[in-house]
Structure 1
Amino acid sequence: MKILHTSDWHIGRTFHGHSTIENLRTVLAALAAEVRARSVDVVVVSGDIFDSATPSAEAYTVLEAAVVALREAGASVVLTSGNHDSATRLGFMSRFSGTAGVHVITRQEQHSTPITIDDEFGPVHFYGIPYLEPALLRHHYPDVPLKNHEQVLGFVMDRIRADLAERGGRSVVLSHCFAVNVAQAVEQSDVERDITSGGIDYVPVSTFDGPDYVALGHIHGRSTLSERVRYSGAPLHYSFSEASKPRGGWLVELDTDGLSSVEWVDLPVPRQLSVLTGTLDEILADAEHTAVEGHWLSVILTDQVRPLDGMRKLQTRFPHCVTLEHRPAVTAASTETTYAERVHARTDTEIVSGFLEFVRNGTGPSDREVEILNSVLTEVALGSTDEPAAQPRPKRTTESATRTPTNTLAEVDV
């Protein structure tokens, strides 16, 4: 049996405010083409089908088109819910869709009841573990300690192993979690929603001992925790921290004895991601950057002073520049003197010039700015001499003169 392992489609996610729907359509169409070309029997998607618990109508049409294309290519489909999904919304009509070969597993009680699909060597049992919050699961099993994700998945896997021992045959487990190999850290990008709060933490890879293959989701980069436990990563790049990571899925083959081979299948990247570093003038003028003009672009400017209107100028050449960071190559030395010490015995022009130098990373006003500054300060000084003289205060009345001492402070001239 040939199984294509993918995960984290995140249908509906934006990339720095830009829709990724059309790019995702392209990748999912390519996924269906690979299924047809390689005669894949089953496609498994390990959670985070949608990016939101309240997906848009368009997100549903993308999912529908994808699973229809996979079925027409000849594969059954098994999907589980992740921490981004609404189990209720994703699981709507799941019993009906299962009769058409699209199996959606979102309810916690489904974890130990497999989807069984036969090939020429017999049955293969697919156990789908939806994302399980300990707080939502523990009341179903009050006698079992289920305080964190490790305990939850340990308990669930014990039940799966017990069920598998009775059924016999080969098995595949789908799980959406943060699994780690003690000897090998899994690199997390900056877009996986944190699932380590509230006592939910890492899960040792040994938790998944037993099945022939474990298809993990949640980490957006591919990763091999063991020969039989892997992350496929997301089909699109959703962060610049993922720019160097390939996009695709694992093609897993089971023979009569279990796991036979695992092969990586590349999927297209509709728009590449690049990061450019340099001064604004250098980046705009460098001919070598022609190759990335159509990429999603993140720019780090090293100018000593932040350029005015930098993003607009960059987008005239790089229309898909979406992030801009100012990281000056030269940083002015800081001082520990107080503000009163810095302005002592200084003129107004010197004080304003010092302020500009401070906020501009050591670069003071230009000659033209000094000229404008002196002109403004002169006008302010001349204007202050034209103010009318202060009018004398009216004489106090007898009544005010006889007020009690507690009120005399209110009468003192300032």
Structure 2
Amino acid sequence: MRILHTSDWHIGRSFHGHSTLSALAEVLHALVLQVREHAVDAVLVSGDIFDSATPSAACYTLLTDTLTELADAGTQVIVTSGNHDSAARLGFQSGLLRAGVYVRTDPLQLDQPITLTDEFGEVDVYPIPYLEPALVRHLWEGVELCKQVDTLTHAMGLVHRHRESRVAGGTTVRSVVMAHCFAAGVEATPGVEREVRQGGVDMVPASVFDGIDYTALGHIHGRQELRANVRYAGAPLHYSFGEQHKPRGSWLVTLDADGFADAQWLDLPVPRRLVTLRGTLDELLDDERFAADEDAWVCAEYTDATPQRDPMRRLRARFEHCALVLHTPTGVRAAPVKTYGERLQKAATDIERIEVFLADVRNGEGVSEAEREILQSMIDERVRVEARA
């Protein structure tokens, strides 16, 4: 059986104020072509289908079109909800979906797998929606659910109980689990995976998924392999500059008669690549070494000692898709031992007070002689005006 593992579509997410819908539509269409090319039997989408609990009509249209294309490609599709989704909104019409398309968002269906078949027999797929402890603990009386590890441990207990009942009945069934969580051992992208709280509160050990032939995880935006049969596929589109060096794609997983056999990475196209450029503002505006990046999404880090006037507008004259500008000065002087208040207290004249202020906001760069002359002339003029008053 060939399974395509994907996740974290985040339909509707913006990129520094720019819509990503058309780019995502292009990438998801490429994913459909992969399904056709590799004769995929099932596509698993492990959560965060939408980026918001209240997606727009255009977001629903893209999801509907993609699910239709996948079904027309001859594959079965199993979708479950992530922490960004509204489980109720994503799953409200699941009973009306065409044959072969399943959307699972109900925690009470954890022990009701979707059973697929191939030449070796049956494969039970257990889609586990994102389980927020505060929202689901009332569903199981007498079960203490305080942390993410509690909810997933309980969910996997239900899965294993169902598997054992199948074995007791004389049926040998391979099993696949879909889950949306932060598993121990993964490397998160700072500022990317929202609502990931580290420090152990929401961390789930990979051992929770022991005994399963393949675990298709979602939540982390870069592909990662915790074990040969426990993997993250990551997002199909770059949603931040922190992700720019991470490949986009999905896992093509093969199950044989004994369970997990192999996982092959399939690259997806990147509609517009992301780059981070660094230099003085003049270098970014004029240097030919940046010519090849003029059509990319650009994060510009300009290194001038002081903030420059209107850098975004000026940079967009060269880089149409400049999305982020950061002032990251080089050669900044070490922070003075004395605090700003202490230095200001020692300043005896108006010009000294202004110099202390400017040095503070300029990261230690003092006042030039020309600036000092202008400032002194302004102070002298103020003194003359006050003397005439």
Matched, 1:48 2:62: no
Aligned to 2:383: 381
Aligned to 2:78: 78
- Structure 2 counterpart SS, 1:317: coil
Q: Which structure 2 residues correspond to residues 84-233 of structure 1 after superposition, within 5 A?
A: 84-97=84-97, 99-167=98-166, 168-180=172-184, 184-196=185-197, 200-233=201-234
Matched, 1:357 2:356: no
The structural deviation recorded for 1:281 is 1.5
Q: Which structure 2 residues correspond to residues 301-312 of structure 1 after superposition, within 5 A?
A: 301-312=302-313
CA 1:377 to 1:186, structure 2 compared with 1: closer, same or farther past 3 Å?
closer
5+ unaligned residues in a row in structure 1: which ranges?
388-414
Aligned to 1:325: 326
Aligned to 2:169: none
- Structure 1 counterpart SS, 2:35: helix
The structural deviation recorded for 1:367 is 5.3
CA 1:335 to 1:218, structure 2 compared with 1: closer, same or farther past 3 Å?
same
- Structure 1 counterpart SS, 2:220: coil
- Structure 2 counterpart SS, 1:244: coil
TM-score (norm: length of structure 1): 0.87
The structural deviation recorded for 1:221 is 0.6
Aligned counterparts of 1:155 and 1:145: Cα–Cα separation in 2 = 9
- 8 Å CA contact 1:6, 1:45 repeated in 2: yes
Aligned counterparts of 2:351 and 2:142: Cα–Cα separation in 1 = 76
Counterpart amino acid of residue 216 in structure 1: L
- 8 Å CA contact 1:189, 1:239 repeated in 2: no
* RMSD (Å) for aligned C-alpha atoms: 2.0
Q: Percent identity?
A: 51
- Structure 2 counterpart SS, 1:143: coil
- Structure 2 counterpart SS, 1:190: coil
CA offsets per residue over residues 28-53 of structure 1, 9 Å max, x none?
01000111111111110000000000
Q: Which structure 2 residues correspond to residues 10-25 of structure 1 after superposition, within 5 A?
A: 10-25=10-25
Aligned to 2:346: 342
CA offsets per residue over residues 327-358 of structure 1, 9 Å max, x none?
221223425172455322x3x34443443333
CA 1:226 to 1:381, structure 2 compared with 1: closer, same or farther past 3 Å?
same
CA offsets per residue over residues 118-175 of structure 1, 9 Å max, x none?
2222221111000111222222222223222212211211211121233331121100
Aligned counterparts of 1:327 and 1:236: Cα–Cα separation in 2 = 27
Aligned to 1:394: none
Counterpart amino acid of residue 154 in structure 1: T
CA 1:363 to 1:150, structure 2 compared with 1: closer, same or farther past 3 Å?
closer
- 8 Å CA contact 1:148, 1:199 repeated in 2: no
| Corresponding pairs, count | 381
CA 1:198 to 1:298, structure 2 compared with 1: closer, same or farther past 3 Å?
closer
Counterpart amino acid of residue 68 in structure 1: T
Counterpart amino acid of residue 62 in structure 2: V
The structural deviation recorded for 1:230 is 0.4
Counterpart amino acid of residue 64 in structure 2: E
Counterpart amino acid of residue 305 in structure 1: T
CA 1:199 to 1:349, structure 2 compared with 1: closer, same or farther past 3 Å?
closer
Matched, 1:241 2:242: yes
Matched, 1:266 2:267: yes
TM-score (norm: length of structure 2): 0.92
Aligned to 1:391: none
The structural deviation recorded for 1:378 is 3.1
Counterpart amino acid of residue 84 in structure 2: H
Aligned to 1:2: 2
Aligned counterparts of 2:291 and 2:208: Cα–Cα separation in 1 = 49
CA offsets per residue over residues 67-94 of structure 1, 9 Å max, x none?
1111111111000000000011000110
- Structure 1 counterpart SS, 2:333: coil
Aligned counterparts of 1:188 and 1:242: Cα–Cα separation in 2 = 7
CA 1:203 to 1:287, structure 2 compared with 1: closer, same or farther past 3 Å?
same
The structural deviation recorded for 1:117 is 1.7
Aligned counterparts of 1:146 and 1:377: Cα–Cα separation in 2 = 67
- 8 Å CA contact 2:104, 2:127 repeated in 1: yes
The structural deviation recorded for 1:285 is 2.3
